[in-house]
Amino acid sequence: MSKLSYPVPAQTWQTELEIKRSKFLTFAANAASREEAEQFIRSLREQHPQANHVCWAYIAGAPNTTVRSMSDDGEPSGTAGMPMLKVLQHSGLGDVVVAVVRYFGGVKLGTGGLQRAYSDAVAQVLAELPVSQKVSRTGLQVIYDYADDGAIVRLFERYDVTDIQAEYAEQITLQLAVADTDVDPLKTELVNLTAGNIQIAKNPAKA
């Protein structure tokens, strides 16, 4: 799975699983950062104050990021958070948080039963979750002469370039976001097209 492009949740999704009278309400959402994931978990706790457990796991970034975490939230150690995180890791998804809200039904499931329940709950919500493709981008600033504008605009049509903002002064200054896979070939073509009469710099604000 390339970190340059990967599937992410397209919206928040919810499913429900009942096992031996315990209800497992499972939620999945987009979370591109640790802060977004933790805010989502806090909001679920507020919505379900009577729940026995709110267990969770997240991968905040590309599927191979190290920004990931999980919690058993009072369930026996290793029976909830880790099984949930393992399902996420095998899904290939990035920018994803899942939380399972459990209402205890009076029948204990045992260690193995809990691991299966939490794994199945996450697998179920991911099977139904709408996804979209996220493209990792680099922000660029390019400055060039008016004479090259027409050719550069046509060049951009062949690349994955978005969010273009232009300023017109003695030269044209463009701020844009480029798919990471297109950055190097685009730079090469821009330099060749203008015979080197162009300034290209990274613009982190557009990334």
Split at pLDDT 50, 70, 90, the class of 135 is confident
What is the enclosing helix (H) or strand (E) of 28?
strand 22-30
Q: Is the same domain home to 25 and 108?
A: yes
The sign of the torsion formed by the CA atoms of 145, 148, 150, 152 equals negative
- Sequence-separated contacts (24+) of 188-192 with Cβ below 8 Å: 189/155, 190/142, 190/144, 190/152, 190/155
Q: Is the same domain home to 80 and 158?
A: no
Structure-model confidence comparison of residues 166 and 3, the more confident one: 166
pLDDT at position 136:
83
Would you say 135 and 183 are in contact if contact means Cβ atoms under 8 Å apart?
no
As a whole number, the mean pLDDT across the chain is 94
Q: Above pLDDT 70, what percent of the chain?
A: 96
Q: Is the same domain home to 106 and 29?
A: yes
Number of H helices, E strands in the chain: 5, 11
pLDDT at position 1:
34
Count of domains forming the chain: 2
Q: What is the pTM of this model?
A: 0.73
The encoded tokens of residue 142 equal 């390019």
Q: Is the same domain home to 22 and 43?
A: yes
Mean predicted confidence (pLDDT) in 95-102 = 98
Mean predicted confidence (pLDDT) in 131-145 = 93
Q: How far apart are CA 37 and CA 150, in angstroms?
A: 44
Mean predicted confidence (pLDDT) in 115-142 = 95
Mean predicted confidence (pLDDT) in 67-86 = 96
Mean predicted confidence (pLDDT) in 159-184 = 94
Would you say 117 and 22 are in contact if contact means Cβ atoms under 8 Å apart?
yes
In CATH, what number is assigned to the domain containing residue 52?
3.30.230.30
Dihedral angle of Cα 138, 144, 147, 153, to the nearest 10 degrees: 10
Mean predicted confidence (pLDDT) in 114-128 = 97
Residue at which a domain ends, from 133, 156, 185:
133
DSSP 8-state assignment for residue 10: S
135, β-bridge pairs: 5
In CATH, what number is assigned to the domain containing residue 164?
3.30.70.240
DSSP 8-state assignment for residue 78: T
pLDDT at position 205:
60
Strands (E), 104-155: 131-135, 137-144
With vertex at residue 94, the alpha carbon angle to CA 90 and CA 97, rounded to the nearest 5 degrees, is 90
Q: How far apart are CA 164 and CA 77, in angstroms?
A: 50
Split at pLDDT 50, 70, 90, the class of 203 is confident
Mean predicted confidence (pLDDT) in 4-30 = 95
Q: Is the same domain home to 115 and 91?
A: yes
Residue 14, domain extent: 5-133
Split at pLDDT 50, 70, 90, the class of 2 is very low
